[in-house]
Amino acid sequence: MRIVLIGPPGAGKGTQAAKLVECLRIPHLSTGEILRQAQAAQTQIGKQAALYIDDGGLVPDALAAQVVAERLKHPDCQRGCLFDGFPRTLVQAEVLDQLLAEHRQVLDLVLNVQVPEEELVQRLILRGRGDDRPAPIRRRFREFDRMTRPLLEFYAGRGLLQNIDGVGTMDEVTERIQQAVGGAKGLSEKA
């Protein structure tokens, strides 16, 4: 299966992805994680990404696309993939379409994890990652509203979007996600 996880900063994309990839046995492709690793390793990509991540801005589409294109070349992605934090713009959604077409693959499901902003802020402040500071958090929310929200309509139009209530215990959210995935899996197996 190929699944995209969309949600504002702190919605639980990474938390839920870790559980889901274990049960679906597919790789977890988090562009944020890959970019942070590149940043820590001080690679060329990492140095470029740092200019944006630290302030809460989005990295350029071409950079995100490069990272995903590289990762999709690995043979483990033939079984499927869970995209976390990609695509984040309409341009990236088009890139994903192209990449999947090149690999003769299709997208099965897009999950939109919804959590009110007050709770997101609490979660992020508690976690305290490098970009979990008030100004970058505000910027990340703005970028989500401006650049990523339009994707919801894009994928709803294709009949791929399912909204997930991201409030509750981690297990409760996992249960909701598994139900949505189970439904989509049944549909894709019938097709």
What are φ and ψ of residue 104, in 5° steps?
A: 55, 50
Find which of Mg ion, ligand AP5, none residue 58 binds, CB within 5 to 8 Å per kind.
ligand AP5
Residue 170 interacting with ligand AP5 (CB under 6 A) = yes
Residue 72 interacting with ligand AP5 (CB under 6 A) = no
Bond before 136 cis per omega within 30 degrees: no
Instruction: State which residue, 26 or 32, has the beta carbon closest to ligand AP5.
Output: 32
Residue 3 interacting with ligand AP5 (CB under 6 A) = no
By DSSP bridging, strand 161-165 and strand 28-30 are: unpaired
Span interacting with Mg ion, options 10-18, 41-49, 113-121, 160-168, rule CB under 5 A:
10-18
Question: Can you point out the beta strands (E) in 11-165?
Answer: 28-30, 81-84, 109-114, 161-165
Helix then strand count (H, E) for the chain reads 9, 5
* Nearest residue to ligand AP5, by Cβ distance, number only: 32
Residue 14 interacting with Mg ion (CB under 5 A) = yes
Question: Can you point out the beta strands (E) in 61-151?
Answer: 81-84, 109-114
Span interacting with Mg ion, options 5-13, 92-100, 121-129, 158-166, rule CB under 5 A:
5-13
DSSP state of 147: I
Residues near ligand AP5 (CB under 6 A) are: 7, 9-15, 31-32, 35, 52-53, 56-59, 64, 85-86, 88, 92, 123, 127, 140, 168-170, 173
